[in-house]
Structure 1
Amino acid sequence: MAKKATTTSTSSAIIDLTGEEMLSTSGASSLLGITSQWLRQLSANGYIPEAIKGKYPLVAVVQGYVRSLKDEERRSSKVAADSGLKAARQREVELRIGKEEGRLVDMEDVEAIVSNVFATLRAELTGIPAAVTRDVKLRAEIEKGLNGAFARSQGKFREAGEALRSGSDPLGADGENDS
């Protein structure tokens, strides 16, 4: 056997507003969820009309309050945008000053300089084994040692560059910078 659907009748009041309904200060404050002092401030700021014999027009109160909320939202988003722009400009100025004072340098310039110095040093040092000894085995050992030192130095330079780019300590977590 199928159950029969039951319906419950609820009465809801529909109010037709004529625009002439008036609210007391406490009624308007309660309706909007604000203090009566804030309600008076909204009136002073021109969002809602002034009270007439302690009463406010209902429709004007609600519309004025909504308008004040929208204006506040616009002001807040404008302030946030202005703040972001101001912070970006400040950062740009700080970077420019840092570069002019020599505290900031372009990583590409640093890499080019260090690469140039390494190339010059390598060119100078590669002639030392031949100048020091005619012993081929000893010369090969010296060259092997120099090549190892260059490879380790090049690796450390690469790691330091990556650390600088990521904002980490270029000398490593333990502060050591020896090979």
Structure 2
Amino acid sequence: MSTSRPRGQTITVSQAAALLGRSDRWVQGLVKAGYIERANRGEYTLVAVIRGALAYYEDQITKNNKAAAATRASEARTREIELRIQERSRELIAMEDARAVIGEMAALVRAELAGLAARYTRDMEARRVLEEVIDGSLQRIAGGADKAGAALGAGRGDLEAEREA
């Protein structure tokens, strides 16, 4: 009865551990987990050791990627919950709601200022001059509001820096 000899060079557990830069026990753990096949008692083929170590590390990378994806998903859910809580407690409002309120306030200011010249004087020449001044102010305010809305929509908080400039 002949025993079949493994193909390729065989090495011991200690040699495999030295080759992989790990302990004997770690290599034995890979054998027990099924990553490395035994050639004979206490001997392993060099190819089996290398393939087993690669398979182990690939499995570890896959597990880490799955754990990282799960962590990112959990963080996204947590962020979503935080935003809903802030919205319910009125610390945070929807952009559409903010724009609607600002639009209503702008319309009130415009309506008040539009009638100012007529309430101030009956002199038509003075009224036209005053209306031009008011229209200029309203146009500057509208331009500033457009810039502020664009900055807020883009998530920039540089409104104060623009005012100072």
TM-score by length of 1: 0.73
1:109 equivalent among 81, 90, 97: 97
**What does residue range 1-179 of structure 1 map to in structure 2 within 5 Å?**
18-19=6-7, 22-31=10-19, 33-37=20-24, 38-43=26-31, 45-48=33-36, 55-58=42-45, 59-173=47-161, 176=164
CA distance, structure 2, for counterparts of residue 36 and residue 98 of structure 1:
53
Contact kept in structure 2, 1:48 and 1:64, CA below 8 Å: yes
Runs of 5+ in structure 1 lacking a partner? 1-16
CA distance, structure 2, for counterparts of residue 44 and residue 175 of structure 1:
70
Indicate the structure with greater helix content.
2
Contact kept in structure 2, 1:47 and 1:68, CA below 8 Å: yes
Runs of 5+ in structure 2 lacking a partner? none
CA-based RMSD of the aligned residues comes to 2.8
TM-score by length of 2: 0.79
Contact kept in structure 2, 1:20 and 1:57, CA below 8 Å: no
Residue deviations 1:106-147, cap 9 Å, x none?
222211211122112212221121121111121112111211
CA distance, structure 2, for counterparts of residue 158 and residue 40 of structure 1:
69
> Alpha-carbon deviation of 1:75?
0.2
